[in-house]
């Protein structure tokens, strides 16, 4: 006997997964196009403008090319892990989207109460995001090891050192957000920032916004931290990959970039709230995605502007600059919260208190 309630629930879950995974894949395709056009514009050249109107079909052509290419598995590679590595790097990038709240809606007045648009309204949402995004290292490590070749191995080593170093300062930066919001639930964190531009955490936590965004840049190995895939390493850990497996790695990288941008807008830029309350007639999701798009533009802008960090500079920035900085800011926020007199200042950002 089939339990119809359970079957319906499974169907809803499948639809929810598709409703997130398909737009993410599509936006990854068009971010690559956007990136090439923007960098072309910054460097005073055209960028891709031949396939389709203004080059809009370029991502499809690229995708088709990658699918049709032969997938080569090196003879000395560890076959199982070589094939598993791209999947292991894509999986956490997509899994993290499960707790991201995309806005609040009454479905145009159909429901009486506001519903949060997220697959799972987890109480430990922020920790979940941190845990899942720390798993993306394994794809890189496995790709480097399973290829059984020098350059991928060195690239994987560098990537691991980089990700471990920056994860710590990233986590400490988020502790200040937890202190102000008093919750690990992403929806609560956004709702604590309601009430206009000055309630956003970008004001009391401005140094942490900078640390989080730059660490996010390092986590996704984007320029200026792309020393894991430089020319000197012949594109680092995915040297030996070709065709669709190669594309899976870049899919994971761009999905992680979207996630970092989404998280920065949720944690520091007021999530789905408008900067001025009377602009709230525009749906929250539009605001959230608009902020995210702006941050993705900043990522691309970085790539067009900054030269690459050297390995020792990258390690120095993570351990000697960001880590003391975040620890000091945790102390500052803590002192503000518990000192009589000063707490009236910080209470402006802690409406739940």
Partner 1 sequence: MLESVFFNLFAGLSVLSGMGVVLSRNTMHSVMFLIFCFFNAAGLFFLLDAEFIGVIMILIYVGAVMVLFTFVVMMLEVNTARLREGFLQYLPLGGMIAIILMIEFVGAASSGVFSNPAIATAEHLPQSINNTEEIGQILYTQYLLGFEIAAIILLVALIGAIVLTLRTRKDAKHQKIAAQVAVRSEDRVRKVRM
Q: Is 242 in the site for partner 1 (CB under 8 A)?
A: no
Residues binding partner 1: what is the number (CB under 8 A)?
33
| Residue 14 contacts partner 1 per CB under 8 A | no
Stretch of residues binding partner 1 (CB under 8 A), selected from 57-65, 136-144, 235-243, 267-275: 136-144
Stretch that binds partner 1, among 130-138, 215-223, 267-275, 289-297 (CB under 8 A): 130-138
**Residue 286 binds to partner 1 (criterion: CB under 8 A):** no
Closest CB to partner 1 among residues 132, 189: 132
CB of 84 to partner 1, least distance (A): 8
Residue 105 belongs to what H/E stretch? strand 104-105
Check residue 160 for interaction with partner 1 (CB under 8 A): yes
CA dihedral 262, 267, 272, 274 (to 10 degrees): -120
Name the residue nearer to partner 1 (CB basis): 138 or 302: 138
- Binding flag, residue 122, partner 1 (CB under 8 A): yes
* 121 binds partner 1, rule: CB under 8 A: yes
Report the DSSP beta bridge partners of residue 115. 105
- Tell me if 83 contacts partner 1 by CB under 8 A: no
Residue of the chain from 316, 323, 325, 334 that contacts partner 1 (CB under 8 A): 316
Is 350 a binding residue for partner 1 by CB under 8 A? The answer is no
Q: Show contacts with partner 1 in window 43-82 (CB under 8 A).
A: 78, 80-81
Residue 318, both tokens: 């993570």
Q: How far is the CB of 339 from partner 1 (least distance, A)?
A: 19
Size of the chain, expressed as the number of residues it contains: 353
Between 57 and 130, name the residue whose CB sits nearer to partner 1: 130
d(CA 271, CA 104): 10
Which tokens go with 295?
């941050």
CA-CA-CA-CA dihedral for 259, 263, 264, 265, to nearest 10 = 110
Q: What is the C-alpha separation between 40 and 35, in angstroms, rounded?
A: 8
User: DSSP strand E in 111-184: where?
Assistant: 115-116
Q: Is 149 in the site for partner 1 (CB under 8 A)?
A: no
Check binding of 230 to partner 1 (CB under 8 A).
Answer: no
Contact 33, 56 (CB under 8 A): yes
Which of 312, 340, 341, 344 lies at the binding interface for partner 1 (CB under 8 A)? Answer: 312
SS3 43: coil
Cα(24)–Cα(102) distance, integer angstroms: 13
Give the phi and the psi of residue 220 in degrees, each rounded to 5: -90, 0
Give exposure, 293-311, as e/b (b: 16+ Cβ within 10 Å): bebbeebbebbeeeeebee
Q: Does 123 bind partner 1 (CB under 8 A)?
A: yes
Q: Does 137 bind partner 1 (CB under 8 A)?
A: yes
Sign of CA dihedral 167, 97, 145, 232: negative
Query: Could you say which residues in the range 168-187 bind partner 1, by CB under 8 A?
Result: 183-184
**Cα dist. 196→117, 191, 268, 337, 350 in Å?**
21, 11, 13, 22, 14
304 with 43: CB under 8 angstroms? Answer: yes
CB of 113 to partner 1, least distance (A): 15
Query: What's the CA gap between 95 and 206, in Å, rounded?
Result: 28
Q: Is 327 in the site for partner 1 (CB under 8 A)?
A: no
Which residue, 6 or 113, has its beta carbon nearer to partner 1? 6
Residue selected from 17, 42, 116, 124 as contacting partner 1 according to rule CB under 8 A? 124
DSSP 112: S
Residues near partner 1, by CB under 8 A: 3, 6, 78, 80-81, 121-124, 127-128, 130-132, 134-135, 137-138, 141-142, 144-145, 153, 156-157, 160, 164, 167, 183-184, 312-313, 316
């Amino acid at each position: 006997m089939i339990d119809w309630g359970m079957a319906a629930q499974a169907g809803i879950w499948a639809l929810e997964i598709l409703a997130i995974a398909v737009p993410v894949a599509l936006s990854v395709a068009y971010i690559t196009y956007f990136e090439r056009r923007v960098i072309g514009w910054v460097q005073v050249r055209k960028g891709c403008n031949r396939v389709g109107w203004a080059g809009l079909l370029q991502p499809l052509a690229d995708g088709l090319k990658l699918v049709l290419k032969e997938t080569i598995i090196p003879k000395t590679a560890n076959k199982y892990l070589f094939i598993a590595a791209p999947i292991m790097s894509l999986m956490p990038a997509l899994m993290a989207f499960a707790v991201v709240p995309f806005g609040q809606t009454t479905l145009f007045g159909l429901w009486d109460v506001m519903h949060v648009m997220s697959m799972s309204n987890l109480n430990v949402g922020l920790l979940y995001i941190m845990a899942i995004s720390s798993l993306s290292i394994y794809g890189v490590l496995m790709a480097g090891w399973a290829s059984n070749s020098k350059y991928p191995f060195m690239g994987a080593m560098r990537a691991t050192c980089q990700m471990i170093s920056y994860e710590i300062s990233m986590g400490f930066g988020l502790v200040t957000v937890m202190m102000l919001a008093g919750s690990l639930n992403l929806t609560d964190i956004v709702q604590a920032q309601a009430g206009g531009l000055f309630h956003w955490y970008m004001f009391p936590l401005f140094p942490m916004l900078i640390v989080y965004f730059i660490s996010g840049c390092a986590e996704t190995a984007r320029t200026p931290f792309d020393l894991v895939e430089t020319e000197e390493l012949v594109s680092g850990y995915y040297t030996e990959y070709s065709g669709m497996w190669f594309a899976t790695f870049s899919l994971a990288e761009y999905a992680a970039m979207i996630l970092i941008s989404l998280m920065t807008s949720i944690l520091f830029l007021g999530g789905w709230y408008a900067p001025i309350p009377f602009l709230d007639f525009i749906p929250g999701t539009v605001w959230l995605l608009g902020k995210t798009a702006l941050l993705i533009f900043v990522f691309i802008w970085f790539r067009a502007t900054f030269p690459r960090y050297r390995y020792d500079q990258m390690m120095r920035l993570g351990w000697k600059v960001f880590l003391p900085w975040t620890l000091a800011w945790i102390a500052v926020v803590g002192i503000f919260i518990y000192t009589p007199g000063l707490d009236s200042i910080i209470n402006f950002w802690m409406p739940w208190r």
